[in-house]
Amino acid sequence: MVHSRREFVYKALGSAAAAGVSGLIPGTAIRAQTALSPEAALQQLIDGNRRFAEGQLTSFSEDLDILKAKTVEKQEPFAAVLSCADSRVPVELIFDQSIGHVFVTRVAGNVATSAIIASLEYGVAVLGTKAIMVLGHANCGAVKASIETKAVPGQISALYRYIRPAVDQAASSLEAVIKANAKIQAGLLRQSSPVLADRIKENQLKIVAGYYDLSSGKVTLLD
């Protein structure tokens, strides 16, 4: 499925006009994000991805001037996404979200390194993020390299040790390893950070794994 940005804008504006902008866009400009429950925050991501996959984006209709003005001094992202650094996975776009809505951390292989965990702890403890999704994606080069373990330049091989547990667990196919890796990294976030674990116990946070299909544009929850 291939869409141009212009087509997305036209479809989004057309849909908004038909349904009424205030009724279609969930919380025009900037939402009261920290008031969402973890389940509601996750649902916002899922609903946004459905709109993206169907070519019915609404985020283009939001007033970017207002969003930028309201987020200069503070941010209240309702969800965080740990994504691969792959250029084919534009996180805000595939979840149909705009400025200030999603706290995005990116690293090849969407692995939970110490720096990534610290960043997500900040998103949860300071910014009030209610849901975290670890997002693997189809045809991930970092996972493929970890399976092949060929010689690579520079420090690329430093990623292998984070992904090898998934290779050992699900070596049947690239897709199986990618999905296993996303689930393992989500598990690490739940278990290795007291900050995140406490919020989960208090029902203030939900951490899930997802898989993004490059062809369909759809995100599937893995757990």
Tokens 């993206």 correspond to 52
The mean per-residue pLDDT over the stretch 171-199 comes to 96
Most distant CA pair in the chain, distance: 55
What mean pLDDT, rounded, does the chain reach?
A: 86
Residue 70: the pLDDT is 83
* Inter-helix orientation angle 160-169/141-148, to 10°: 80
CA neighbor of 24 nearest in space, from 54, 48, 5: 48
- Summarised one tens digit per residue, pLDDT across range 25-76 is 333 333 446 689 999 999 999 999 999 999 999 988 888 888 888 888 889 9
* pLDDT tops 50 at residue 21: no
- Summarised one tens digit per residue, pLDDT across range 65-121 is 888 888 888 899 999 999 999 999 999 999 999 999 999 999 999 999 999 999 999
Q: What's the domain range around 26? A: 5-221
Structural domains in the chain (count): 1
Looking up residue 14, the CATH number of its domain turns out to be: 3.40.1050.10
Beta bridge partners of 81: 104, 133
Q: How many CB atoms lie within 10 A of CB 34?
A: 13
Residue 15 binned pLDDT confidence (cut-offs 50, 70, 90): very low
Tokens 């919020």 correspond to 199
Q: How many CB atoms lie within 10 A of CB 11?
A: 18
Cα–Cα separations (whole angstroms), residue 27 to 31, 47, 108, 157: 5, 13, 32, 43
